[in-house]
Structure formats: C-alpha cells, structure tokens
Amino acid sequence: MKIPLVDLVAQYKTIQHEIDEEISSVLHEAAFIQGDRVRKFERTYSDVYGTANTISCANGTDAIYIALKVLGIGPGDEVITTAHSWISTSEVISQTGAKPVFVDVEPNHFTIDTSRIEAKINDRTRAIIPVHLYGHPANMGDILSIAKKHELQVIEDCAQAHFAKYNGQNVGTFGQFGTFSFFPGKNLGAYGDAGGLITDDNELAVRARMFANHGALTKHAHKIEGINSRLDGLQAGILNVKLNYIQEWTKQRILIAKRYDEQLAGISELTLPTVASNAEHVFHLYVVRTERRDELLKFLNEHGVGASIHYPRALPLLEAYSYMGHTKDDFPVSGQNQEQIMSLPIYPELSLEQQQFVTSCIRDFFSK
C-alpha cells in the first residue's frame, strides 16, 4: 500500500465534474484576472467566515506582507513571532525592513509561548504575528491582552487553520488582520498559488485592497505605490466550488485525528498531539513526537507511508537567520521539537483501511 502525506488527486476526483465545468467556463469567458468569480469568493468567504471583509491576493505569504505594510510597519520596527513556522511568517517581516523577533513555542501545542512574549517587547516592538500552526489556535486570550497592554497590532497567520476556533470563535477574527493561504495542500486549497486577508476594519480593508493592486482602487488611479498580488479567476472559481465542501472536509480531518488518537494510544515512546480545552483544532497536520523520529520516519517511508517533517529546523536556527547568532539554547522547546516531530498522512479522503495501515506500521516499529 502507498499512502501519501496528502492526496490532492483523491479530492479532485470527488468534485471533478464541478471543477472541470468551472475551469471550462473561465476559459470560455477569458475571465482570468479579478472579475466576478473573485468578488463572489470574497463575499462568500466573508459570509461563511464571519468577517466584514475578505481581500484576496496572490498567496499566503503576500497576505502577511500586505497586512504588515498596511499597518505601517517598516524600518526600525520589531515584530514578534513564533520560532516554529514556515519561513513566510518571518521573511515578510524582514521584507518590510522591520526585524523579526522570535519567541519559543509552548511545550504542548507548537504555538507561540505567550509567557515568553513580554520579555521580548521593547519600544521598537510594533506587532505580534501568532501562527495557528498545524491547525491548532494560538493562545489568543493572552496575545490580545499583551497586545492591548503594549499597544501592539496583531496579525494572525491562519495559513494552516481555516475555521479553527478559539473559545468558539474562528481564528483570524481576533487581530487587526487574519491571513490565509489557499496553496493547494492547505485545508482550503486552490490549484495554484492563492491567498487572502480578512479584517472587520473597513478602512484597513480598503488600504489592503489598494496596496495589493498597484496602489489603485480603480484603474489608473494610483494613490500610492503598491504591489501586484491578485487572485486569478481560475483559482477563485476552484475555491468557490471547494467552499461548499470545506466544513465537511474539516469535520473529516478532525475525525481522522481522533482515530489516530485511538489507534496510537498507549505507545510510551510516542507523544500524540494535544488540543487545548478552549480550542478546536482543524488538523492541517497531525504531528507526533518521538526520540526515535529519524528511525521511524525511515521505516514508514520504506513501507510506503508518506510521513514527513514540518519543519526540520526552527526558524531562528535556519541559515537565513544565522546573522542573528541564535543557538538551540535560546529556543529549548523548538530546538528539541526539530529533532522529534513527524507529520502523519492526513486528508479528508484518507480511508479507514489506509489509516489502519499507517498505525499498524507504527505499532510494528515500536514493538521491535
């Protein structure tokens, strides 16, 4: 049996007819950039997500960059973020001219350790970017009270956490902006790069829309210099189809995670993901930890299981940030996680039989 980490073809087959029809319409209308499908996506996403404004853009990295620029963050500023994420989260901070300041993650949830944030705040600090990593919400209660106390902006990186909830409220709706990626492999994915921002602040929404479209709200009326970061019609059409299924797919991810919990319970050398009591985790990834990670990963891959590592190195320990001179001791939890974490296959179409194969391989490994 061969079980990939994520199977986008399996998902395509379940909606093939609708998708093919949508793609064909886009081609026949030549509705490639912006247009009705993009507007429809923004409206529907706002409605189902419970936000006043959705501004689509070219990808999830741009979404964070646009939010930072619109909030006026630039040279001389510092932005606090997590030590454990995909590099998009921190590279866009640098791109504005500001400095990323990393904070270690919680021992249990892979999200920013809010008890370590205040020690990193100084008079240059302007914003916090929490990441709801793997689909588990960061501790927004603490983050919002720290932000209020120190007058900081909050941008939530929701690239892996569409519809995850904190105290029953969708992530992305707590800060000034929530940013999303619709990269194909994300919980809600297009068939190419795509992204978006949400905000309840209408003024911020207008500025974000303008900045993402060459600084113009209407053609040739460039009020500022912006960037070219737009969602195309093809991707919007695909996302419109998929939006009808996202709730069902999310439920399925949660169910599969629960089955992993049950099927992998009681292996003393394996730590399973935990969910905070006030959180709804949407399991973009199901990440386990073990001291025998490299051995287990090799074993699984040899047996056709597409387990993998997200991410092999904490952000501040990447070569890109070597100029900061950080060592593992600066980030004890992330530093240890990078040696121990492993992501198991999870996607809505993963069958019970496939999942049982994955877990029996893992049981085999640990019984030796």
Ligand X SMILES: *Cc1c(COP(=O)(O)O)cnc(C)c1O
| Positions in the binding site for ligand X (CB under 6 A) | 59-61, 85-86, 88-89, 131, 157, 159-160, 181, 183, 193, 195
CB of 182 to ligand X, least distance (A): 7
CB of 62 to ligand X, least distance (A): 7
CB of 228 to ligand X, least distance (A): 15
Q: Within 10 A of 17 (CB to CB), how many other CB atoms are there?
A: 10
CB of 160 to ligand X, least distance (A): 5
- Residue in the block written with tokens 């619109």: 70
CB of 113 to ligand X, least distance (A): 17
CB of 64 to ligand X, least distance (A): 7
Chain mean position to CA 231: 18
- Give 89 or 343: the residue with its C-beta nearer to ligand X: 89
Distances from the Cα of 300 to the Cα of 258, 306, 314, angstroms: 20, 7, 23
Residues 260, 112, 175: CA angle, nearest 5 degrees: 105
3-state secondary structure of 22: helix
- Give 60 or 335: the residue with its C-beta nearer to ligand X: 60
- Give 193 or 232: the residue with its C-beta nearer to ligand X: 193
3-state secondary structure of 322: helix
The whole-angstrom separation of Cα 62 and Cα 157 is: 11
Q: Please give the structure tokens belonging to residue 318.
A: 């990447």
Q: Which pairing describes strands 99-103 and 78-82: parallel, antiparallel, or unpaired? A: parallel
- What letter would DSSP give residue 62? H
Q: Please give the structure tokens belonging to residue 267.
A: 């292996």
Using CB atoms, what's the residue nearest to ligand X?
60
Distances from the Cα of 140 to the Cα of 137, 165, 173, 257, angstroms: 8, 10, 10, 23
- Give 101 or 112: the residue with its C-beta nearer to ligand X: 112
Contact between residue 134 and residue 284 where contact means Cβ atoms under 8 Å apart: yes
- Give 58 or 270: the residue with its C-beta nearer to ligand X: 58
CB of 332 to ligand X, least distance (A): 21
Contact between residue 82 and residue 112 where contact means Cβ atoms under 8 Å apart: yes
- Give 63 or 152: the residue with its C-beta nearer to ligand X: 63
- Give 88 or 354: the residue with its C-beta nearer to ligand X: 88
Q: How many CA atoms lie within 13 A of 243 on its CB side?
A: 18
CB of 112 to ligand X, least distance (A): 12
- Give 76 or 185: the residue with its C-beta nearer to ligand X: 185
The whole-angstrom separation of Cα 227 and Cα 210 is: 9
Contact between residue 222 and residue 215 where contact means Cβ atoms under 8 Å apart: yes
